[in-house]
Amino acid sequence: MAGISPWQLLIVLLIVLLIFGTKKLRNIGGDLGSAIRDFRKGVSDSDKGASDSDKGASDSDKGGDAKPDSTEKFDSSESGSGKPDDSKT
């Protein structure tokens, strides 16, 4: 960017202003700002999720997480609803 003088940059900005207009540029700036804000929020949320999953992995190694019991038997022939049959346990 060393070859661009301030005058050339000013001329380019004036041409962009003439093409799009002030209202459209204001909307583009607002959209760009909200996109950057959402991106930063997503990055910080994913960082928190990564640190939370690291903590969860260490907890599961210690046996802290309880897994759901998959020993329930389903009797679809009698009730047809696919709900657990309590009478056969």
Weakly modelled stretches of the chain, pLDDT under 70? 1-2, 52-89
Whole-model pTM: value is: 0.42
Q: Is 32 exposed, middle or buried (0-12, 13-18, 19+ CB in 10 A)?
A: exposed
pLDDT at 47: 82
How far apart are the C-alpha atoms of 9 and 57, rounded to whole Å?
52
How far apart are the C-alpha atoms of 50 and 39, rounded to whole Å?
16
